[in-house]
Amino acid sequence: MPAQMYYDQDADLSLLKNKTVAIIGYGSQGHAHAQNLRDSGCNVVVGQRPGSPNYDLAVEHGFKPVSAAEAAEKGDLINILLPDEFQAEVYNNDIKPKLKPGNLLLCSHGFNIHFGQVVPPKGVDSALVAPKGPGHLVRSEYARGGGVPCLIATGEGCSPEGEKLALAYAKGIGGTRAGVLRTTFAEETETDLFGEQVVLCGGLSALVKMGYETLIEAGYQEESAYFECVHELKLIVDLIYQGGLDYMRYSISNTAEYGDYIRGPQIITEDTRAAMRKALKEIQSGQFARDFILENKAGKPMFQALRRQEREHPVEKVGKRLRALMPWIKAKTV
């Protein structure tokens, strides 16, 4: 059965005409949602704590930020776009007491609702509208007339009116221009965590580091190792993004394509698949969520130690030096 997709003609933006949309958190996703919705003609209020860089950014963008509680009180649709680890506390202390029957509680990642950290009260609909891209892309694609594909899901007992409002919200941020895929909170949350941990971030980072280390151990120059295992990765990813694996293989040399076929299965083996399945089970069971929540409640000691350790990896040091020699790539630092 084909996936259910929604486009501009399936969503009614006029449903938001007399509504106020509260955006809680003006970070990576928040700034994009707030600006796109405003440009779509919606009334937007931003909840962001004063004294933070994101507060100043919201002011710079023409908003008048208020507290999370005040934003939730003013909003008919309330989207919590804070980092996952902060959502439960802010929700329970500031947002939940202000919710009223008929409100629509939104999120752009189902983590907290799916794992029971945010529980919508009776009479309040809940839904998920999740752009499949970072906030800066959500904003830039909208500004040039395009959009970033989104996922949409509704919470248990969500009314038909709440579902229509969520779809209107997706249109307001530009999602229906590219397509909005119907899903569930469980599917969005679990596949998102799996993709991040196993392929996009965790798997890729480990593969890059191990490839680099293997070349260095064999006596090759660190610059050559960096170019082969890190720098050229963008070329390959861009080709896959444009036309899939087949187009990537069409675009590279026959030597590289042959090596792809014979070496890939030797590196990513059935043992790797078993590790992937284990990671997925730990996500589905809530084990990862529990560990992440407890880590944050303890003050992130392991998280911070791992971050420091990774920043000291040799591939990071040589990469920083080489990127500084290539001003056209507009190197970033944190």
Sign of torsion over alpha carbons 193, 197, 198, 199: positive
Spatial separation of the C-alpha atoms in residues 164 and 166, rounded to whole Å: 5
DSSP structure string for 81-92: -S-HHHHHHHII
Spatial separation of the C-alpha atoms in residues 186 and 89, rounded to whole Å: 22
Task: Please state the φ and ψ torsions of residue 31, each to the nearest 5 degrees.
Answer: -65, -35
Tell me which H or E stretch contains 248: helix 233-251
Cα separations (Å) of 93 from 67, 90, 98, 102, 170? 12, 5, 10, 20, 27
Spatial separation of the C-alpha atoms in residues 96 and 86, rounded to whole Å: 14
Strand, helix or coil at 167?
Answer: helix
Catalogue the active-site residues.
109
Q: How many CA atoms lie within 13 A of 271 on its CB side?
A: 2
